[in-house]
């Protein structure tokens, strides 16, 4: 009887821990196909989280490291800049990483990215307490957003 009660408490604690962890969903991930000589490729996706989270980094099967970039007007010219410190994902708000705003840049490519390829992405997020979770997705490689054709 004592053992049974202990198990029940353990189950409740376990469920509590599960609910507290942010559920992060990554959808419509794609990577821009490259042309010869290109060293970096943009990666785009839609991110939704049940809790406020931060996109920390992205590892991929084709790049040595990644950066978060933001497009900004600079003297009438669109330029991209590195965005440091992670990208805030507000709770229950879908954040779209698109070619005109924030995006992930896969840097120092180890090979060309051809249209039709699949690029494995591992996206790391941290929650308010600094705890990290990783989401793995297969991104489609394409010259245009394959979800908007």
Q: By the criterion CB under 5 A, which residues form the site for Cu ion?
A: 69, 80, 105
User: Considering beta carbons, is residue 56 or 80 the nearer one to Cu ion?
Assistant: 80
Q: Counting Cβ atoms within 10 Å, is residue 71 exposed (0-12), middle (13-18) or buried (19+)?
A: middle
Least spacing, CB of residue 105 vs Cu ion, in Å: 4
CA pair distance 9, 5, nearest whole angstrom: 6
User: Considering beta carbons, is residue 19 or 78 the nearer one to Cu ion?
Assistant: 78
Least spacing, CB of residue 56 vs Cu ion, in Å: 17
State which residue has the least CB distance to Cu ion: 69
Are 95 and 46 in contact by the 8 Å Cβ rule? The answer is yes
Within 10 Å of residue 77's Cβ, how many Cβ atoms? 7
User: Considering beta carbons, is residue 25 or 79 the nearer one to Cu ion?
Assistant: 79
Least spacing, CB of residue 53 vs Cu ion, in Å: 21
User: Considering beta carbons, is residue 102 or 147 the nearer one to Cu ion?
Assistant: 102
């Amino acid at each position: 009887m004592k053992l049974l009660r202990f198990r029940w408490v353990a189950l409740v604690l376990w469920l509590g821990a599960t609910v507290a962890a942010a559920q992060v969903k990554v959808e419509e991930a794609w990577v821009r196909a490259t042309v010869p000589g290109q060293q970096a490729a943009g990666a785009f996706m839609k991110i939704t989280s049940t809790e406020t989270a931060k996109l920390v980094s992205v590892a991929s099967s084709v790049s040595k490291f990644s950066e978060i970039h933001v497009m900004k007007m600079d003297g009438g010219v669109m330029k991209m800049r590195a965005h440091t410190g992670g990208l805030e994902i507000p709770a229950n708000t879908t954040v779209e990483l698109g070619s005109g705003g924030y995006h992930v840049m896969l840097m120092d490519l180890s090979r060309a990215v051809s249209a039709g390829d699949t690029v494995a992405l591992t996206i790391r997020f941290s929650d308010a307490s600094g705890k990290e979770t990783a989401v793995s997705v297969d991104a489609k490689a394409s010259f245009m957003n394959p979800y908007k054709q």
